Amino acid sequence: MEPNRIATLDGPTLALDDTGLAALEASMRGPLLTPRSAGYDEARRIWNGMIDRRPAVIARCLGTADVMACVRFAAAHRLLTAVRGGGHNIAGSAMCDGGLVIDLSLMRSVQVDPEARTARVEPGALLSDLDREAQAHGLAVPLGINSTTGVAGLTLGGGFGWLSRSLGMTVDSLTGAEMVTADGRRLRVDADRHAELLWGLRGGGANLGVVTAFDFALHPVGPQVFAGLIVHPLSQAADLLRRYRHLAAAAPDALTVWVVMRSAPPLPFLPPEAHGTPVLVFALCHSGTVEQAERDVAPLLALGAPVGVHVGAMPFAAWQAAFDPLLTPGARNYWKSHNFTALDDGLIDLLVDNAMRLPSPQSEIFIAQLGGAASRPAPDATAYPHRDAAYVMNVHTRWTDPADDAGCIAWARAFSDATAPFATGGVYVNFIPGDEDRVAGAYGANYDRLAALKATWDPTNLFRQNQNVPPATRPSLKTA
């Protein structure tokens, strides 16, 4: 792709000079970057180091007006268009080869109203940005577990983490949004205005437009929570998982316990001889009082013979960033995922067997515990439908040498295939890699309703650089 040409949705490329790019640049506060621009290579880097795409233009937006100008420009010329928020998506949808990237990563404002318990969050904000501002007032939104994740992508896919059992999915706290539609209009969306569109934003991905502000309800949390890690030798994993599933089923909503199987990182509370050995880790967070937490966590602490324990009261914002050192940007990553309603014996055997054969030292299998408040809304209450998922498995392969690509990816695929018979068939949309088409499984019975919304708000499928839901042939009616 020559750097002075730009890809279209129809196949042929256009000369950039013929598109009126100079006029777009003049209308924006933020800069336009091309392959000749200083900072271009840095701007096209995203979290997954496997993604190496070269857009023709990166438009670094500073506000809604910039986004409106970019969308109108893309629509007028039918340009291949990607939208970047935090750039954390495993499939690399934030970047496209040869097209236009609408880059929102400089829009990171977070405004908290502690009296109303609300937050307005721009689409480039990271979880750490929202946590920092909300926790200053002892408030939080249920978000993910890696503080460098973008709020926008997490939210638009559904969003879950340490607080989801007590407070629900991220989208359950989304009360409204400002967005730019495929025809370049600014739209205010909430329960009273375009309620059906708000339904679609609650888990429907980036299919419906470009969100320029998210409005969240905030909840009292912390600032101290009871959290930490219990580390066991992987040789105990089969027995531990069979006992864990009973404790998890009886756990109060305030307690969340995830399972991680991997090589032990050099954590300071582990003996040196345990570093690099295969381990099973119980990662827990309790959002109640310390007294409640100590009582509820005691049965978990009584399991097995751990090689290291580090649990206690700590700042919630610190716990939100605890896994950041294991998830730094730039490594090569490939994921496979399933939802489960239970941890059957056969599934546990497969988990343990494959955890003994991880393809790289950085790879891991994690099991996220859901249920509780995340399971209580009806499956059609939001575009995110998986209210029956008691556990979400992410098979997370991670490595640095491109020579290891084939081996790591093949291992993840084989493991995913082996565990599929135990799964619901549903999948969390944010965990789908770029080579896998499971969008129907991501939305289940909500798919047709989402496709009808797509036909109304993006009938030409301008926003297709995502886990795409093509527009239905018969559009729905726009809501007032």
pLDDT tens sequence across 281-332? 999 999 999 999 999 999 999 999 999 999 999 999 999 999 999 999 999 9
pLDDT of 32 strictly over 80? yes
Domain CATH code at residue 92: 3.30.43.10
pLDDT in tens, 140-162: 999 999 999 999 999 999 999 99
What's the mean pLDDT in 9-23? 89
Asked which of 103, 138, 159 is the last residue of a domain, the reply is 103
pLDDT of 479 strictly over 50? no
pLDDT of 23 strictly over 90? yes
**203/231 same-domain check:** no
pLDDT, position 1: 42
**394/331 same-domain check:** yes
| 250 inside domain | yes
pLDDT in tens, 70-100: 999 999 999 999 999 999 999 999 999 999 9
DSSP 8-state code for residue 477: P
**228/360 same-domain check:** yes
**451/331 same-domain check:** no
pLDDT in tens, 398-437: 999 999 999 999 999 999 999 999 999 999 999 999 999 9
Element (H, E) at 456: helix 447-457
**316/344 same-domain check:** yes
pLDDT of 7 strictly over 90? yes
| 93 inside domain | yes
**183/297 same-domain check:** no
Domain CATH code at residue 396: 3.40.462.20
Angle at which helices 405-419 and 345-355 cross, to 10° = 170
pLDDT in tens, 161-196: 999 999 999 999 999 999 999 999 999 999 999 999
Strand partners, 263: 278
pLDDT, position 295: 97
| 144 inside domain | yes
**Cα distance between residue 84 and residue 94, in whole Å:** 4
- Residue 378, judged by CB atoms within 10 A of its CB (0-12, 13-18, 19+), counts as exposed
Count of domains forming the chain: 3
Whole-number percent of the chain with pLDDT over 90: 96
Phi/psi of residue 249, nearest 5 degrees: -65, -30
pLDDT in tens, 233-249: 999 999 999 999 999 99
Domain CATH code at residue 142: 3.30.465.10
E-strand stretches of 24-164: 32-33, 57-60, 81-84, 100-103, 110-113, 118-121, 139-140
| 479 inside domain | no
pLDDT, position 474: 62
| 130 inside domain | yes
**403/266 same-domain check:** yes
pTM reported for the whole predicted model: 0.95
| 335 inside domain | yes
- Alpha carbon separation from 344 to 78, 266, 347 (Å, rounded): 49, 32, 5
Q: Within 383-436, where are the H helices?
A: 405-419
**213/232 same-domain check:** no
| 142 inside domain | yes
**378/447 same-domain check:** no
| 436 inside domain | no
**311/412 same-domain check:** yes
Domain that holds residue 410: 224-431
pLDDT of 476 strictly over 60? no
Nearest partner of 124 among 213, 218, 55, judged by Cα: 213
SS3 433: coil
Predicted confidence band at 3 (pLDDT cuts at 50, 70, 90)? Answer: low
